[in-house]
Chain A
Amino acid sequence: MTSNHSINQLRPLPNALPEKAEFLLNVDGLVTNLNNGARIVDDISFSIKQGETFALLGESGCGKSMTALSLMRLLPDGIRIASGDIKLDEEDILALPEYAMRRVRGGQMAMIFQEPGLSLNPVMTVGDQIAETLKLHQELGSDAIRSRCVELLEQVGISDAPRRAYEYPFQLSGGMKQRVMIAMALAGQPKLLIADEPTTALDVTIQAQVLKLLRDTQQKTGMTLLLITHDLGVVAQMAHQVGVMYAGQIIEQAPREQLFARPAHPYTQKLFAALPDAGRSGQPLAAIPGNVPSLGASLAACRFAPRCDKAWALCHDKVPEWTQLENGQRVKCHLYTSQMGSEESNLKVPLSPEPSTASGEGSGEEGRDSPLLQVDNLQVYFPIHKGILQRTVGYVKAVDGVSMNIPAGRTLALVGESGCGKTTVGKALLQLITPTAGSVRFAGHELIGINARQLRKQRAGMQMIFQDPYASLNPKMRIAEILQEGMDALSIAKNSDERQRRIDELLEQVGLEKSSKWRYPHEFSGGQRQRIAIARVLAVNPNLLICDEPTSALDVSVQAQILNLLKSLQQQLKLSYLFISHNLAVVEYLAHEVYVMYLGRIVERGTVEEVLHAPKHPYTRALLSAVPRIDGQVMQTVRLSGETPSPSHPPQGCHFHTRCVHAIAECSAIYPGETIISATHRVHCHRAAE
C-alpha cells in the first residue's frame, strides 16, 4: 500500500436521501453557560437533513457532549442553556414544558452513550429495559411488547434474541451491550439518534460491527444521526456533513468529501497532519503546541490563535466570522476574509506527505545482533479458585508462551484487542506480576526467580509508562517529589543538589518548565502529565521503556506531541521501546517490529512492513480492515463475527478458528505451528502457506 493515494477515493456512503430532503434539526445560535457565565457551548448553529449523518468532531473539552445534552435538555446541574433556538421537525424544543419534553426524549430523539457498561441498569433484564421505552412511547399490549423487544434485538444483530431478552447486562459483552443500547434507542422510533462517542470504549473489530449496524439501521429506517466523535476515521466512514468544534464553537463545517479533500481551517489541517501513519514514520508529526483552552476563556479573539502558526495580528483581537468558500465549505477564520493569502495557498492538502526518506531506519541496525531483552516462552497463569477451600480448579492463561527479542534502540510493538494479555506481558516483564514460567533475560541477566535485592539492581534498566496520565501520578505529591522517588529508591544521584539538577534537566528534556517542579499534578493537562510520567522513568536512566498504550487517553493533537517526544528520546538516548497498543496507526508510525497477540499467544510477528502491509494471519487482516481509515481506502473487508473468547476456556486447536472465515477442519483440532514466511516474518496459521 503506497501512501501517495488520492484523497477523493472516499467510499460513497449508502445514502438513502430523497433528493430534496427537509431539514430535520435546526440549531441556531445555541449558547450553554455555566452558572457563573462561562460559556461551554458558544453560539453554535447547524442543521441536519432528514436521513443524514452529521458528525461533530473535536477534541475532549470542546463542548461536543454538552451540545448533545443541550439538544436533549438533559444538562447537569449548574449548566443551563442561555440562548438560542433548537427546532426538531419545526417543533421548538426549548419552548416545550418538561412533561412534553419526556415525550420528545426517546420518542423523537434518542441518545446512546460512550460507556455501554454504565448505561444499562444492572438489575433489570435487557428485555425489561427495552420494554420500558416501548411502554412509554408506543401503546402496545404486553405480548406485543415482548415480540417487539425480540424484534428490536434481532434488528441490532443479537443472535438468539428471545433468550437474550431475559438476560442481565452482566451476561453480555461490551459490544452486545452497545447493541442493546442502540435497540433501546430505536424502540421509540426516534427521528434523530444522537450517538455520543458510541464506539470509543470498544475494540476495533467490535467498533466496525457497531458502526456498520448504525449505517444499516439508518438506511433501513431513514433515521437522522448526530454523531459525536474525536476519531477522524469514524467520521470518514459515517458522516455526510461534518462540523469541527473547537473550544465551544464550530469553526468549520463542510460535506465530508470536501473536508477530507481540503480542510480549510488551520486547526482542521493540523488535526489531519497530527495523525500518525507509516508514510510519516521518518519525520516528526505536526503536533499542535499547547492545549485546548479552558472554558470561559476570553471571547475577544479567535480561540485557536494562540496555537495557530498562521495567526496574525487580526486573529488576536477580532473574532472571525463565517466565510463561505466557493465549494460550499464554511469556515471561521480570518485567513479567508482578508487580503492575507489567497484561498488556494491556504488550502494546502496536508494528507499527501512527502515520500518518507529512510532516515530513521538505519540507526537501529547495529544493535540487532545483541538483543537487550530476550523473552522465552513467558507464561502468566492466574489460578481460578472455587469452593470453600479455595481449591484451584483451572487457570486463566493470560499469557501463554510468548517469546520476543528487543534489540537496543529498536521499537517492538505488541498489538491486540483488549483482554488479549498485552498489558500482562508488560507487567510480567517488569516482574510486577510474577510469571508462571519462562525466561526473561535483560541485558544478559535472568530476571525470573531472582530475589528482591538482585531484582532491584536490574530495576533501573527497565521502566514502564502507563496508559492513564491521570492515574499514574500521585495527586498528593509535587512534581519534584515524584521525579525524585525513583532516584531515591535506586540511589541514583548522591546528594540533593545533584538530584535537583537532574530534575531540572529531566523537565527540560521532556519539554516542561523548570518552575513546574514545585507544583502538584492536578495543575497539569493530560499531555503534560504524560510528559511528567516520562520524565519520572527517565530519571533512573533506563535502557528499555515499556509503553502501555501511552497515548490512548490523549487527544490527537497531544498524542502527536507525545509520539514526537518518544521518537526524539529514542534517537537521543538510544532507548528501546516495547510499545503496547491497539492503535495500528500509531504502531505503524513508531515501531520497527510488530507482534500480533490473540488470547495470550503471538499469532504473527515481523517487521512493520511485513505485518501491516502483507499480513498473513486472518486475525491480523481482520484487525487491519476494521480500523477506519481517513483516506477511505478499504482493504479487502474481513469482518469478524463475535467477540474474543474467554482466556479461561480458549477454544480447542487454533484459538482463532471460532471467528475465522478461512477455518478448516484442522484448525479446530491442532494449534498451528510456526510458519516461516521470511527471515523476520513468522505466523501461526495452518493456511499461511496458501
Chain B
Amino acid sequence: MPVILWTDAMIFLLLATVLAAALWIRKRPHLVLPWQRVAKGSVGMVSLLVLSLFVLVGLLDTMHYRAALPEKSNGQTVYSAEVLSVFDALAIGLRSRTEKTYSAPLAAYLYAKESIETTDGKIRRDYPRLLYGGAHLADPQRELQGDVLKRTVVGALVGLLIGIFLIVVGNTVIRFFVKSRIDRSSTGQEISKDGSGIFTFTKAMKNKPFRALLITALLMAMLLGVTANLAAVYHVLGTDKVGQDVLYLALKSIRTGLVIGTVTTLVMLPFALLLGIAAGYMRGWVDDVIQYLYTVLSSIPSVLLIAAAVLMMQVYIEMHPEWFETSAARADLRLLFLCLILGVTSWTGLCRLLRGETLKLREMEYIQAAQAFGVSSSRILTRHIVPNVMHIVLIAVVMDFSSLVLAEAVLSYVGVGVDPSTMSFGTLINSARMEMGREPMVWWTLAAAFGFMLVLVLAANLFADAVRDAFDPRLNRTEAVA
C-alpha cells in the first residue's frame, strides 16, 4: 500500500514545479541562455552530477509504502505498521544486517570485548566475531586484508564496466532521439554532417566540461562498484551503538537534508517574494509595516524561536496520538513543522534583497512607461517586476539550500530538530557526541555524517556558484561582445 507522507507530497509538488519550470524555460531562448552557460562550465556540471546522485537517493527514499503482511484477517490484507521506502527495499541487506553494537568500518570483529565461550568450554574475554561483517572469512586476521583488497579491485572494475556500458547505451539512446527528431523536422541535411560515432566521441572529448563530466561519472561508477561489492559482506562505514549499519543511516539522512533544504525554501519563497516586492513597489505604509516585521523577526534569536515552536508542537503531537496511524507519520509531521518554522524565520534575508532590487526597478523607465499606459499595479508586478528579480530568487534559493542543511544539523544537535526516530545528519552528529568521549573512541559515525554532509553541501555550493556566475551579466559581458 503506497503511503504519501506530508513531506512526500511537498517533494512531489516541488518536483512537478521544477519540471514545469524547465519546460517553460525551454521555450524561451533568453532564459535558456544562462543555463547553457552553466552546462558549459565543468565545475557546475560535475557538482550537478554529484548532486543528482544525492537527489536520486532522496527521491527513492521518498516513495513510501507499507508492506502487506502474509497473514490475513477476515479476508482483508493487513499491512505492517512500519512505513518503508523504495530505498529501504533496495538496501534491504544494509537495513537488516544489524550487529549487536559498535563495530569499526570493514571489521570482522565487534568493537567491544565480550565473554565468549570457546569450544573447549572455557570462558574467554575477547572481541567476538560479527554476525554479518566478514562472516564468510574462515580466519579474518589473516584473510581480511587480502579479501578487502580483492573485493575493492573487482568492485572498481565491475563498476567501471557498468559505468561505460551505461554511458554508451545512454549515448546511443540520445543520438537515436536526436536523429528521429531531425528526421521529423524535415531538415534532413544535418545528419550527413554528423559523421561516424567515433568521430563525434573524439570531438566530444576535446570539449572540456564533457571530459570532466565523463571522468567524474566513471570515478563515481568505480566508487559505487567498490562500495556495493564491499557492503555485501562488510559494514563499510561500521555500525552504531545498536548495531545499525552507518552507511545505511547516512544514506537515509540524505532525504532529511534534502527535505529541509527544499521544502523550507518552498515555505519561505512566497513570504519573501510577495512581501519583498510589495514593500519595494508600494512604498508608503506597506513598506513600513513589512520592514518593521522583518526587522523584528530577524532580531529575535532564531534558535530560541525555533526551540519554542518545536517544543509546543511536540507537546501538541503527544497529546493527540490518535491522529497518527504510524510512527513514521508522526516523525514526518514533526519534520514538516520544522521546515515551516525554519521557513518562517529565514525569509527575511531574501525579502530584504528583493525589496532593494524592486526599489531600483520601480524607477526604471519601462515601469513608468507602463504606468503612463494606466497598467494596473498587479500587472506591473507580475509582468515587469517578478521576471526581473527571478535571477536573484534563483541564486538565493540555491545558496540557502546548503545553509539550511547545516541548520538542521545544528538544531538536531541542540535537541530541537527532527524526531529522534528520523535519521538525519543532525541526529548522527548528536549521537557522536557521546561516542567521541568514549574510550576507545568511536569515530566513524561522525566521520560518515561529516563526509556525506561535506560532499552534499560542497556540491550544492559549487553548483550555486556556477549558476550565479552564469546569471551575472557583468561576468558575461566580454563573452557577449565577442
Contacts and interface: CB of A to CB of B under 8 A. Distances in A.
A474 B482 contact: no
A474 B383 CA distance: 9
Nearest to B388: A476
Task: Tell me what chain B mostly uses at the interface: helix, strand, loop, or mixed.
Answer: helix
Contacts of B366: 471-474
Interface in B366-417: 366, 368-376, 379, 383-384, 387-388
A459 B369 contact: no
B478 A34 contact: yes
Given A490-B373, A490-B374, A432 B368 contact: yes
Given A296-B482, A485-B370, 7 more contacts: A38-B481, A38-B482, A295-B482, A427-B368, A432-B372, A464-B369, A485-B373
B242 interface: no
A472 B482 contact: no
A88 B330 CA distance: 80
A445 to B, nearest CB: 15
Contacts of A36: 482
B400 to A, nearest CB: 23
B30 interface: yes
Nearest to A536: B369
A471 B371 contact: no
A427 B372 CA distance: 9
Contacts of A520: 29-30
B30 A485 contact: no
B436 to A, nearest CB: 48
Contacts of A34: 478, 481-482
Contacts of A635: none
Residue from the set A78, A79, A471, A522 with the largest chain B CB neighbour count within 10 Å: A471
Main SS at interface, chain A = loop
A36 B379 CA distance: 43
B372 A430 contact: yes
Contacts of A466: 365, 368-369
Contacts of B388: 474-476
Interface in A402-444: 427, 430, 432
A455 B365 contact: no
B375 A489 contact: yes
B68 to A, nearest CB: 52
Interface in B453-481: 478, 481
Interface residues of A, number: 40
B374 A489 contact: yes
Nearest to A475: B388
Contacts of B369: 464, 466, 472, 533, 536-537
Interface of A: 34-36, 38, 77-79, 294-296, 427, 430, 432, 452, 455-456, 459, 463-464, 466-468, 471-477, 485-486, 488-490, 520, 522, 533, 536-537, 540
A486 B29 CA distance: 24
Pick the most buried of B369, B371, B383, B384: most chain A CB atoms within 10 A of its CB: B369
Nearest to B31: A476
Nearest to A76: B478
Nearest to A522: B30
Contacts of A430: 372
A471 B482 contact: no
B373 A486 contact: yes
B364 interface: yes
Contact of B374 (A296, A459, A464): A459
Contacts of A473: 366
Contacts of A456: 374
B478 A472 contact: no
A240 to B, nearest CB: 33
A646 to B, nearest CB: 21
Contacts of B29: 520
Nearest to B375: A489
Interface of B: 29-30, 364-366, 368-376, 379, 383-384, 387-388, 478, 481-482
B16 to A, nearest CB: 24
A338 B379 CA distance: 62
B139 to A, nearest CB: 64
Contacts of B376: 489
Contacts of B368: 427, 432, 464, 466
Most central of A456, A464, A485 by chain B CB within 10 Å: A485
A463 B371 CA distance: 10
27 contacts: A34-B481, A38-B481, A295-B482, A296-B482, A427-B368, A430-B372, A432-B368, A459-B374, A464-B368, A466-B369, A471-B365, A472-B364, A472-B369, A473-B366, A474-B388, A477-B384, A485-B370, A485-B373, A486-B373, A486-B375, A489-B370, A489-B376, A489-B379, A490-B373, A520-B29, A520-B30, A536-B369
Contacts of B478: 34-35, 77-79
Contacts of A485: 370, 373, 375, 383
A79 B366 CA distance: 33
Contacts of A488: 375
Contacts of A537: 369
A432 B362 CA distance: 12
Nearest to A474: B366
Contacts of A475: 30, 388
**Which of A38, A476, A522 is packed against the most chain B CB atoms within 10 Å?**
A476
Nearest to A463: B372
B373 A459 contact: yes
A519 to B, nearest CB: 9
Contact of B365 (A463, A468, A476, A522): A468
Contacts of A468: 365
Contacts of A522: 30
Nearest to A459: B374
A293 to B, nearest CB: 13
B372 A459 contact: yes
Contacts of A490: 373-374
A464 B375 contact: no
B379 to A, nearest CB: 8
B93 to A, nearest CB: 52
A296 B478 CA distance: 13
A476 B372 contact: no
Nearest to B369: A472
Pick the 6 closest A-B CB pairs, nearest first. A472-B365, A466-B365, A476-B387, A456-B374, A486-B373, A459-B374
Nearest to B30: A520
B423 to A, nearest CB: 43
A497 to B, nearest CB: 21
Contact of B384 (A77, A467, A474, A533): A474
A448 to B, nearest CB: 16
Contacts of A79: 478
Nearest to A456: B374
B374 A455 contact: yes
B360 to A, nearest CB: 11
A471 B364 contact: yes
A455 B373 CA distance: 10
Nearest to A296: B482
A35 B374 CA distance: 47
B365 A467 contact: yes
B30 A489 contact: no
A86 B258 CA distance: 59
A336 to B, nearest CB: 33
A468 B369 CA distance: 12
Contacts of A540: 373
A36 to B, nearest CB: 5
A476 B30 contact: yes
Contacts of A477: 383-384, 387
A489 B373 contact: yes
Nearest to B478: A78
Contacts of B373: 459, 463, 485-486, 489-490, 540
B278 to A, nearest CB: 19
Contacts of A455: 374
A488 B383 CA distance: 13
Contacts of B387: 474, 476-477
A475 B361 CA distance: 12
